[in-house]
Structure 1
Amino acid sequence: MTIPKPRLSFWQIFNMNVGFLGIQYSFGLQQSAINPIFLFLGASEEILPILNIAGPITGLIVQPIIGAVSDRTWSPRWGRRKPFFLIGAILGSICLFLFPLSPALWFAVGLLWILDVGNNMAMEPYRAFVGDKLPDQQMNLGYQMQSLFVGAGILMANASIFLFQDWFGGGEEITGEVPKWLYYSFFIGSFLSLATILWSVSKTPEIPPSEEELAEINRHKALPFGERLKIPFIEIAEAVKKMPKFMWSLSIVYFFQWYALFIYWQFITPLFRTTMGYDTSQAAAQAAKMSTTYNIVTAVVALILVPLTMRFGGKKVYALSLFGTAAAIFAIPYITDPVMVLVPMVLFGIGWAAMMGIPYSMVSKVVPQERRGVYMGILNMMIVIPMGIETVTFGPIFSTFLGGNAVNAMLFAATFFAIAAVLALRLKFQKAIVFKDKNPES
């Protein structure tokens, strides 16, 4: 029997999501600063996709496993989800501190792998954490609050990049060296990654499991280690087998959406080297301004989307936002004024707010509470699989079919966003599925 969850106040929901600020600051640096660092350290544009393969692979492996394991975890002192995003935050904090100190390309690539493990370990249980705490009526608010912190975290990361370049930059670029002005953004991220998680952990108690759930957790703990090791994989396979049709349909939308987003993040800096004739530092700063703009919009509109989704439905708002993002990316290559090119980011920001909140809210309502962790992990697999495909396939597509031209890469991404929008309109919502047998081994 499911026990009704109490409604939380606005500030309780705010506090429980503060940790997302640090996680998303880290992701903001990955979007805008990691690829420029690879370029500073001597990487060519053609190999940028494959250098980013760490994110998809670690996400594919880490997120569903951590989700399944956290579903069967409980500590009276630490809770169910908190231990995982605490460990992830510590890993992320260490890597962010070391990243700008990278002496060579191989070192930076290795750090990206560890950083992605930490970020994925922190983020997936955080998605389930919100679903655990909130009643259905507050799900939209909870996940759009996360969108607000997604915007705020990435906004701070990107603003720091161009502000520190303006304050502390200057001088010629030296191949093989990371500019000193870029250090400060990563050091701030190292602090925020851990400090914000600690805030949420200290302010938000987890809901204890029911007697039935606790009995299942204790039964799991009593199993031999080898059996416990197999259970997450069994649960993932079982969950995929019983996955709602809604999630299968969403996975197709996600393929085009996230493939396109990865292209944008990888090639926005090369684009400005092509269209505006900037050097890498100038192009990275302009890309950071783009990201800052759209994340300001995200932070502003995230909570506004809550009443809109309640009135018009999440599917329509989500699909319209994807159309807007497609239009924004189509426009960017044809605008050469560094100020006017920020205008399309308004549409991009609305789209980013919807992407970071609406799908999670919809999925949270169609999966059973006792499997929320593993299904949030599977949802994130739907993000990293297209990203992984992009890292392997888009390098050859870029050099062979797109003429090695960053403008064509952007138009390709915009086309994929338009396809995602059309497919989003065809999504069909459904009620939550029920697992009759909670033991994946029986």
Structure 2
Amino acid sequence: MSPTSSRVRIPKIPFWAQILGGLVLGVCLGWIARSGDIAWLGKTLDEIGSIFVQLLKLAVAPLVFFAIVVSITNLRNVSNAARLATRTLLWFMITSLIAVSIGLAIGLLTNPGSGSGLTPADGAKPKHTGSWLDFLTGIIPTDVISPFTELNVLQIVFMAAVVGIALLQLGEKAEPILTLSSAVLELLQKALWWVIKLAPLGTLGLIGNAINTYGWNLIKQYATFTADVYVGCALVLFGVYPLLLATVAKVSPLQFFRGAWPAIQLAFVSRSSVGTMPVTQRVTERLGVPREYASFAVPFGATTKMDGCAAIYPALAAIFIAEVFDVHLGIGDYLLIAFVSVIGSAATAGLTGATVMLTLTLSTLGLPLEGVGLLLAIDPILDMMRTATNVAGQSVIPIIVAARENILDRDKYATAHGADLDSLMDDEAPADREARVPVAA
């Protein structure tokens, strides 16, 4: 027997199992660091998690810019582009309204702030706040450099949209720029894939640091609020989305989760819609959405479609903070919460955390901004479920719109299966594929 044939092949560990292993090991190491007061272990966990998040953020600015530019220019291959874009935005708003209604209902039923034991003295104003004036005037940048250095995703989206529309107007003259943009986007996505492969290690650091820093007492103190956020997100993720898929798109919800699970699980651990965007786009295409439309809808959704961070969470947080500060909210206030969630969700910008959206909601209601400080400590734990809900919605809506426009490949949807990260990475890059023009309804 030759040495080659006698080698034992080590079985490949699925990506979901790597994530789960990092999660469990992170909890154990975090508990050891906290209970044993091991400073070096706690610092190591913090550094591992911070480096992973920093690597994700490093690619955010150029990735968003070129993804939006390429996605807008790809619409030139779609015969009903304007209608697709309009209906995508409409369904974003409809599902956001449903999500915020669920958040308000849960908050009114459970009163998450009344039994927390927290007082106004426990709060502190955040360093960065959001207001409607900032939101409206802040869309337009003062220069082309600051949005990238300051990571102002909303301004980056604005500039990318302007460039994309201008390239469409230029026609054939813009082809060299379009080719370059597609190549740069492919390069950025490849680099981001390498970062995503580190997600199990990043999970270990992020979860371990959270346990070491806050312990279980923090979760007990915010038990009702934490449960409300998870239950609200779960109702949208496993209730509303499947119902819409079954009744509106008339496709199998189970098949959706089978195909989209890699993106959902990565969103849970990375806490970044933009960081998950390449995976979200791949699974959406695998579920039968034409790639020209998916390349528009998914990047657009990654920066504006936030049912977890911009609908469920601010609704519950507003009720929680109002109860802690003993402020009465009326029907008008609840309507304002719904309005802010549906219109202002772009303020979350697909990054980890939803502080800007929360301060926008509180300032609109006139609630004390010190309330934000009450929720910052628990935010990483909440953000995992919020982001998973966001990303699921960013894939569900293109499927619904494609189905209603009769451009969804139902055979491809029916045969989609759960894929690990490596098989998704082996998919052809968008720039290498031949254009396929979906047929209008």
What TM-score comes out, normalization by structure 2 length? 0.31
What TM-score comes out, normalization by structure 1 length? 0.31
